[in-house]
Amino acid sequence: MKNNQPTIIVIIGISGDLSRRKLLPALAQISAAGELPCECRIVGITRQYDLLLSDVLTHVEKAKDIEGMIEFWNMELDKKDAYEKLGKHLKEIERGFTSPAQRLFYLSVPPQISRPIIELLGESGLASAPNTKLLLEKPFGVDFESAQELANHVDHYFLSDQVYRIDHYLAKETAQNLVVFRQDNSLFKRTWNKDFIESVNIIASEKIGIEGRSIFYEQTGALRDLVQSHLLQLTALILMELPSGRNFAEIPARRLAALNSLRLKGRVEENVIRGQYRGYQSEVKNHGSHVETFVSLTLESDDERFINVPIVLTTGKALAFKETKIIISYKRNENHESNQLILHLQPDEGVELCLFAKRPGYEHQVERHPLKFSFGEYYSRLPEAYEQVLFDAINSNHTLFASSEEVLASWRILDSIQKTWAMNNNDLLIYEPGSKIEQIIDKKN
């Protein structure tokens, strides 16, 4: 439901790639749909004095819907008095509104400068202003200890209900539909357990390499970049207990319980595969780099409903295909064949159910046939994930945002992997760009 409370959206880092390619296009689409508050201003924080509106609206399809709302505010991000001046300016904007406004501070900045910005928002009094929200992008730390420190830092200046930690995978249509799909289809609701499910595979593969993001990727790697956030959040949606009725406000707590039930299956050396595509070291100009561009690991849950069901998470760059999907494999029949439910998140969002049927003809030959549903075939346009993220934050809906407890639970699951890798780099597999996932896994076996 649309929130008509006057709103000021402060984008710190408006000239950055995320803002230009995702945030501003999303706000334009929300505005075009008539879903932004009637009184809404976008304040773009920048250190560039020559920044033009056309510079930040290059990728915005419906720019006219928001260009009149945008203004730039030049400030140094490391000066407390600059935040105090910003606060005075926001009050001036609010005087033109018909009622008190909410303020959204979106930190569209590199992770290394997020922490001091949070501190200065707090020390300047901006964090404690009524109806103030903080929107944060991953990464939320690099391991359990740093994530705990960051959570404590944020909690020192902001209340938990002010903070929106973004995982845009949760805002994809297929991910949002996972709960409805499980809850409203008795065929799956009754079979969503260890008695029927043989395994769960979540795959996020990319054809591209690191695309010039050398500094970021050398500090991150595939495990931190995708597994800790996106893939574990999707895992939680699959394993969690369904909310009562349609009380979606229960979902974050249910996700947390699911994450707390997870652990690595067995030893790291036996159940984790890491690799690096050939040419990566030259690309990052570090010929001793052991940063993984591919990782596949097997988890298990101590939840009674999923005991002994392996959950395999796989992600990598420079692979044969670009796709993100969830594969639910049901227990095999007497012919050693398995029905599969495949939930596609990208590039084409939809659902696929693999069934077996007799091939027409005199011989009794059984074939596998997919039943497919594509959102794109039924709907002329699917909202981008960041549209949902911003719409929900404006409307104070925390369902699609990760709590600090969820973030810490995710890091806990990966803790043994990170510690093992820190002591031993001998298991890094080198794979050719364009490899299939199976080819890399076969190298390990």
Cβ(224)–Cβ(293) below 8 Å: no
**Which ranges constitute the DSSP H helices of 223-318?**
232-239, 251-260, 268-271, 280-283
Pairing status of strand 40-46 against strand 70-74: parallel
For residue 245, which phi and psi values (nearest 5 degrees)? 60, -130
Give me the torsion for CA of 246, 247, 252, 258, rounded to 10°: -60
Q: What is the H or E stretch that residue 150 is in?
A: helix 144-157
Q: Pick the catalytic residue from 230, 287, 290, 398.
A: 230
Cβ(325)–Cβ(203) below 8 Å: yes
Cβ(348)–Cβ(379) below 8 Å: no
Residues contacting 144, CB < 8 A, separation 6+: 408, 411, 412, 415
Distance CA 26, CA 36 (A): 11
Note if 230 is an active site residue: yes
For residue 234, which phi and psi values (nearest 5 degrees)? -65, -40
Q: What is the H or E stretch that residue 411 is in?
A: helix 404-423
Catalytic residues: 230
